[in-house]
Every structure is written in C-alpha cells, then in structure tokens.
Amino acid sequence: MSTVERLVVIVLFEGVDLLDVTGPPEVFSLVRREVAETAGYRVVLAAETPDPVTTSAGVRVLPDITFDEVSTRSIDTLLVPGSVEIDSRRRVHALTDPAVVTRVKALAERTRRVASVCVGAHILAAAGLLDGKRATTHWSTAQQLAADHPAVEVDADPIFIREGDVWTGAGISACLDLSLALVADDFGEAVALRVARQLVMYLKRPSGQSQFSVPLEPVSTTRRVEDLRHHIMRHIAEPLTVADLAEYAHLSERQLTRVFKAELGMTPSAYVESARVEMARNQLESTDATLERVVSACGFGTTDTLIRAFRRRLNTTPTEYRRRFRATSD
C-alpha cells in the first residue's frame, strides 16, 4: 500500500456545480482514517485568480491556488467539474469556457490521471482528452456531448467509465461513486468499502447506472416479508422454491403469493429472480468470475437460466452487460 500523499487538483470556475466540487474531497478526506497517517490525498482547489468563485448554488468558494501556481507541480489527479445553463424551454446545456478548456488541457499534460465529474466531460472533450475514448456524463447532456464531439463514444448508462488514465463520471451524486472508484484504484477495494461505510452509503456501486439495477424495493412494512427478503439473500445460492419459502414463513403457497403481491407487487418467484439478477449484476461488474461461477453463487442452476433472466429483466446478456459495465484499467 502506498504511503505517498497524492495531490488532487479540482478545477474551479464561475458557475461550477457545487456538489461536483465538494463531494470528492469528502470521500478523499476519509481515506486517512482508514490507512496509515502518512498516506492519503491532499486536495487543492485551483482557479484563474485567488478571488472567490461563485458556484451554481450561489455559494462562494475560495481557491487554494491559481492555475499558474499549480502548473509547476506534479499532479496525481486532476478533477474537472462542470457547469450548465437552462434555456427558456427548461432544456439543459453544458457550458465550456474556452479559457478553462485551455487550462485543463495544459494541466492534464502534468497529471497522472484525469477525471471529469458530471458535465465536466464536456470540458475534457473540448480539450481533446476524450477523442477515440468511451465516456459518460449526466444523462441530460449526453446527446449534446455526442453531437459536439463525434470523436467521443458517448455512453450515458454507466455511472463512471475508465479509459486508461482518463475517467468520466455521471451526474450529481455519482461523483461519490467515481471518487470511491479512484480510492479503490489507489488503495484497494477494502479501503474504498470502509470509506463508503463512513459515508453511510448503502453500497459502493462498481459502475452500472441505477436504471440497470433490478428494483428490489419498495421495502415491505410487514416484518414477516422483511424476514423472508433477508432469508432469500442469505440463501440465494439454494433452490428457494415457493414451497421452500412458504414452509419457512409458515404459510401456504397461496397465502405467500398473496402477501408478496400485496407488499412487493410481485410473486415470490419473480422476487427471487430479481434478487439473483441483482447479485449477478454486481458480480459481473466487480469480479472476473466466470458465468458458471456466477450461476452457482446466485442460484440460477444453469447458464441458460441466467441468460434468460438477464434478457427478461435487463434486455441484454450477461456477457454484454459485463463488457459495458466492468471497470477495467485498459
């Protein structure tokens, strides 16, 4: 594990999105609690001048350093947030200040790793840093990014994408997921998971956008059904037939089905399949496990059953899902 303090530079400019600026430092600051005192990150905010910058939320932020001053330093990670404007028809447009683009392009040459947060991808694209690469951004500006920069392969589905040493993240709270992925890359998955726990995040999402997650909610208000949901997750690799679940709950199969439909809006079998697809989705994103191992761990029985479940619930195959959402270093 590295004991070097890594310099993270966050780019500031007028109208920048506030959460894009403040979210990542919260993640990075917690790393020092989880690793040796001499390791971690040093985060600085860089702007054109030392004057306060007014964010999109109206909150003023004071830069730590100017672009000229930071240009003489060796930067580990350059984080580029974004900014948008809303037109009279309530349409969202990403903004790219040419002066900021020029600064980012120059700083990127001195940086080990570059990452954009939300619509900051538009700035990276304008600087030519995304040409020939697959990239993501906030879903509301994905079409604009693709139209303005045809050399970029825009994919609005993942919450972040890594292409070598260039990372792009989706919108708003996904900045936390991107930051956790950077921490995992530097200090390992175990540290990133402990940081996620400090942030009281439900889980550390590897890459898939939320609309690809199987909807296991709403949470039931009935203790018996909640107990069954936990029982299913604890025994997901086992057959878990309706008869098995009914016996565990001390209900008839008909009563069990009626309770599940009333509380969760689906049958027990459909819920079990949803839970298995969700677990398989996470394994495909975060591990190199073969399909056969995923089948065994998630209780699908056969590879064909896994494939049919993915086609039915995600309209894709497990192999295609992994290709699109597996975070790799290549």
| Residue 121 confidence (pLDDT) above 70 | yes
- For the chain, give the number of residues: 330
Compute the chain's Rg from CA coordinates: 22
Distance CA 120, CA 124 (A): 7
| Residue 179 confidence (pLDDT) above 90 | yes
Token representation of residue 189: 């998955």
Report, at the CATH architecture level, how domain 223-325 is classified: Orthogonal Bundle (1.10)
Query: Any idea what DSSP says for residue 78?
Result: E
E-only strand ranges, 146-277: 153-154, 160-163, 166-169
Token representation of residue 44: 């600085």
pLDDT tens for each residue of 194-228:
888 788 664 445 554 443 454 444 445 577 887 89
* Domain positions in the chain: 5-209, 223-325
pLDDT tens for each residue of 287-312:
889 999 999 999 999 999 999 999 98
Give the pLDDT confidence score for residue 173 in this predicted structure: 77
Distance CA 268, CA 246 (A): 9
Token representation of residue 180: 């956790």
What is the CA angle 27-164-75, rounded to 5? 55
Domain 5-209 matching CATH 3.20.20.140: the answer reads: no
**Most trustworthy range by pLDDT among 22-36, 177-191, 235-249, 252-266:** 235-249
Nearest C-alpha neighbor of 76 from the set 44, 104, 112: 112
Asked if the domains at 5-209 and 223-325 fall in one CATH topology, the answer is no
Distance CA 262, CA 285 (A): 32
**Three-state secondary-structure class, residue 200:** coil
